[in-house]
Amino acid sequence: MTAAGNVALYPWFKFFQNLMFWQATWFLFFQSELSAAEAVLIYVVYDIATTVFEVPSGYLSDRFGRRITLIFSALAGLLAAVLPAVGSEFWIFALAQAALGLHMAFASGTDSSLLYESLAEEGREDEIEEHELRAWRFNFAALAISAIVGGAMALIDLRVPYFATAAAFVLLTLVVLRFREPERCRVTGGEWRRVAALRTAFRQPVLLWLFALSAMMYGYSHLPFVFGQPFILQALEGLDLAANAPVVSGAVTAVMMLVSILTSWMAPGIRARIGLAGILLLAFAMQIGLVAGLALTGSALAIALLLLRMVPDSFSRPFILARIQPALPDEVRATYLSIQSLVARILFAATLYVAAGAASDIGAMTHAQISTILSGYALAGLVAFATLAVAARGRGL
């Protein structure tokens, strides 16, 4: 396998990684087995696990290679899919979420580093935005397919989507085994060189701004993911259609991903017109607006709002990665991206832990509880947006 082969396989890596058939029904499943507060805390377990593994995984990737790190990631993802399919207790679900956190941590930064370094090995670094956007479309095509199919599977049993996800992760593992280690990530030099390179990276104003923005946008992107399914359930109960929640949730998620794919085709033109800082701030503003909208309504309108959840990501994530990669030395590329993810996950997990205190210990989460939580997030987001908008001046974006 050549570096060009890595580039060709990379979209398929993202495709199989995101065939998560449980994505549209996971909260409904956990809430059917646990209390609402426990269901929220299950997500906290995921973020804590990712936090624990995030920086070590980045170091291992920079030190020992991209391919071996991605192999461990794929195997952890397989375990995360199998455990909920066969378990029924909180600790089993928590262990599955820990494995999912390990999967995400070991892939975080390493996957995009492998793509960039494979392109760089062939002298094609300037194609990074194009390939990040292409991978993004494969990513969300998989999410769309698995959402609608997984929602239908859940009508049979809420565990069936987990079995299907396990099969997808077997295919993911086969793809990863075909990757070849990029030449550019075989780094020489001691640990002090890595520390010095990392310190230099954190002194770059543009990287600091993108670091802060990414940390905030991670949480606001995941808020509708955590609370979207109870929103759908509440809206459907008002229409006497609660029994159809798994299918509707799957359909909503599928359309959400398709909308993201369509808007990703618009993103390069918007970026060209308003600049990198402009499109990134626009994306963050859209996230805050979506959270505020969900806080205001518990009707079927909430379902329509959820269709826009991934549009801000399509306007931001590929461009952030493409801007960061060339500014980072090879010896700390994955470590930097892991630290960025670490801070984002700690921040979001901490706020979710506080939010769990507003959730019921018994039964499903009500709209009043969700509205209180999301209103707080919306107000905090406005403060963060104003701060980032002012700080964007003179950052070399």
pLDDT digits (tens), the chain, 397 positions: 678 889 999 999 999 999 999 877 776 777 777 776 677 677 778 878 877 888 888 888 888 889 999 999 999 999 999 998 887 778 888 899 899 989 988 998 899 999 999 999 888 888 888 899 899 899 989 988 888 888 788 888 888 999 999 999 999 999 999 999 987 655 455 667 777 777 888 888 889 999 999 999 999 988 877 776 566 666 666 556 556 666 666 677 778 778 888 888 898 899 989 999 999 999 999 999 998 888 887 666 767 777 888 899 889 988 998 898 888 887 788 888 888 888 887 888 788 777 766 555 545 556 677 778 888 899 999 999 999 999 988 666 6
The Cα–Cα gap between 316 and 333 comes to: 19
CATH 1.20.1250.20 for domain 3-179+201-391: yes
Helix, strand or coil, per DSSP, at residue 392: coil
In sequence order, what DSSP letters do the residues of 20-58 get, joined into one string?
-TTTTTHHHHHHHHS-HHHHHHHHHHHHHHHHHHHHHHH
Give CA separation, 279 vs 205, 263, 269, 316, in Å: 18, 12, 10, 7
The Cα–Cα gap between 199 and 109 comes to: 18
Domain spans, the chain: 3-179+201-391
